[in-house]
Amino acid sequence: MRHLLTIALLTLLAGCTTPPVAYYYGNYSRTLYRSKKDSTPASLEKHRQTLEDIIKKSEGKGTRVPPGIYCEYAYILAKEGSPEADRYFSLEVKAYPESEQFVTFVRSQLKS
């Protein structure tokens, strides 16, 4: 009976652990909100830096970059006229193949 109680208690405690974090988002929500609310070059640059930070830290930790981050970063780069944008659009599609249609759409909107 004692072993059964110990097993039940260990099972209960194991169920209370928090799952590992799947993605690193850094200050994404805060800087996105500011960039949309203020729409200043400084707030957009801060959000761009946050996207760079998310990419660097995720890749550094060996975790996947969250969905949409590569694409959003590529969009900002494309608006600035950077040739690096294509690389990040490709990374988004490589990481999340289901995003290919959306990435194609975003690229077509940039050409308009």
Q: Which DSSP symbol is given to 98?
A: G
- pTM here? 0.80
- Nearest Cα neighbor of 84 from 65, 70, 67 is 70
For the beta carbon of residue 109, count every other beta carbon within 10 angstroms. Answer: 10
Residue reference for tokens 């909107």: 109
Write out the chain's pLDDT in tens, 112 residues. Answer: 666 667 766 666 666 656 666 899 999 999 999 999 988 999 999 999 999 999 999 999 989 999 999 999 999 999 999 999 999 999 999 999 999 999 999 999 998 7
